[in-house]
Amino acid sequence: MNYQMIQFRFKDIEQDFPTEESCLEWLKNKLYPKGIRCPVCNKVTRHHKVSKRHSYACDNCGNHVNPVAATFLRNSRIPLKMWFKVIQRMSAAKNNVSAETIQREYGLTYWKANRMVSKIEHYFSENNPIYNYGRKPNETNTGGILLDASEIGARKQQINADVSPKKDEGNRGRSLSKRDRTARLLYLQILLWHHSQGIDVKEIARSCNASVRTIYRDLVALESELKVPIWQEGSKRGLVDGHFLPPVAFRQEEAINIFIASRLMQNYSYLYNPNVISTFMKLSSILPAELREETRKTIENIEKQTRDERKVNNLNKVTNAWISKHMVKIRYQTPWDDELKERIIEPYFLEPMLLSHSIYIIAYCHLKRSIYGFKLDYIDGDVEILPDTYVIPSDFHTTDYITSPWDTFDNDRSIELVTIKLHFISGYNKKLFDTIWHPSQTVERLSDGSVVMTLKAHISNHFIAWYIGLTGRVEVLEPEILRNKVLEKAKLLIAIHRENAPLMD
């Protein structure tokens, strides 16, 4: 393919591309110098610009063609003019241009600047047939840019036969090495910020999967190159108080977790919470377009949920009391309690429970004189924050009370963890054991093809409901108390259904 090249300087971009439409028109002319060939009409036809869209419509059939879709700029909401400016800026520089520089000079967020720089570096690498940022090999950069429409990420790429595989691999290796270092420096900042009391250099090396010597070099680079203030005390390092982290950018593998979290929040509670909406609206602003759209749909579903301002206010009050370590007065009654009782509690932890569709407040109860779990939905009236403060005991560990979704604080739950053995005799799918139901779960396959699952958990109503819901023949081997509870539930179910089905034997 004969690539036509046009040279631009920075002042020309301002003059020749005053609007977004002028950028799109130039891109269309470069991609389709002989006119747009309509795939529906199967010939070159006249096309007109579609208002408020990056596309042209065929005058004959109305089929839309988007010139941007044939480039690496597809799916980007950043204006074309901004892309042109940044491409020119990077081509005019003698050295590499950082995302921080683009962020500062063009008033972009760090996430946008970093994404632009990464894409431009990738598509305008020196191994690309249209040369490095429009420069021919061994040509001195004079401050201009040679832009070719096909080179702006066009899918029609050619392989430069003059570039040897070894050279290509070496350049790619250096590029990856640079990216790895940049990612490590950002992660190192976040790691230091999270450890306000400092973190040992060896622990940093372990977290970053790097050598101690590399981490020492990175710490020096953070201070000297990025001007990050770091204090040291022996082998410990930390950020000086008052230092703020730069805007965070998420890789796709990280961004998907925000989307998954939004789905979990939608399904764990069917109560509308405006704070959940605002949280995911802010987080979705830095997600890739596809994930941002799916997260938006989830937010719309949450907005349709049942509204209960009292429960939301109670959650906010409990949260504030937990953070400030103030005691709370509540009126509480479970479905199994005969009367409503007033309690003073010291919130130690908040735990969302998927099976209960609510939040549990793990707290010390002055009435019971022990640690107990209070379901937010069972609080009657308004929560009252008291002026008295408290201190969470140093030996308190959440995992002692919540180890799985089965762990609820109902009246029938066992106080201590017990060893549970279930014998899966037949009628089950082996895929059942691909799911980790509990962190302590172990599976033993017997010679007759059956399976014994062993775990340490609390015996609760939710666990019994899960057990009854298992398909196939499953027997409780131990403990005896669980066998008895299962039998009680089974007898109750049989009695209820026999009353309502008189024709059954």
Token pair listed for 152? 């702006």
Residue 315's nearest CA partner among 266, 258, 358 is 358
Range name among 33-37, 130-134, 263-267, 300-304 with the lowest pLDDT average: 130-134
Separation of alpha carbons 21 and 160, rounded Å = 33
Reported pTM: 0.47
Examine the pLDDT at 9 and tell me if it is beyond 70.
no
Are the folds of 166-239 and 418-499 the same? no
pLDDT confidence tier of residue 135, bands split at 50, 70 and 90:
very low
Tell me what the pLDDT averaged over the chain comes to: 76
Range name among 101-105, 341-345, 458-462 with the lowest pLDDT average: 458-462
* pLDDT at position 141: 34
Residue 366's nearest CA partner among 350, 345, 380 is 345
Q: Report yes or no: 351 and 398 within 8 Å, Cβ to Cβ.
A: yes
Q: Which CATH architecture has domain 309-400?
A: Roll (2.30)
How buried is residue 283: exposed, middle or buried, by Cβ count under 10 Å (0-12/13-18/19+)? middle
Residue 147's nearest CA partner among 274, 38, 7, 242 is 7
**Arithmetic mean of pLDDT, 12-39:** 83
* pLDDT at position 321: 93
* pLDDT at position 119: 78
Domain spanning 418-499 has what CATH number?
3.30.70
> Hey, which bits of 325-417 come out as E strands?
326-332, 341-353, 358-365, 370-375, 379-389
**Arithmetic mean of pLDDT, 455-464:** 80
Examine the pLDDT at 362 and tell me if it is beyond 70.
yes
* pLDDT at position 429: 60
Domain spanning 166-239 has what CATH number?
1.10.10.10
Q: Encode pLDDT of 396-406 as tens digits.
A: 887 666 656 56
Examine the pLDDT at 394 and tell me if it is beyond 70.
yes
- Angle CA(185)–CA(191)–CA(197) in degrees, nearest 5? 135
Q: Encode pLDDT of 166-201 as tens digits.
A: 444 444 344 334 446 777 787 788 788 778 788 899
Q: Which residue has the higher pLDDT, 221 or 416?
A: 221
* pLDDT at position 331: 94
Q: Report yes or no: 65 and 47 within 8 Å, Cβ to Cβ.
A: yes
Residue 451's nearest CA partner among 459, 461, 441 is 441
Percent pLDDT > 90 in the chain is 11
SS3 228: coil
Q: Where are the domains of the chain?
A: 6-147, 166-239, 252-307, 309-400, 418-499
Contacts of 46 (CB under 8 A, 6+ apart): 35, 58, 59, 60
8-state DSSP, 433:
G
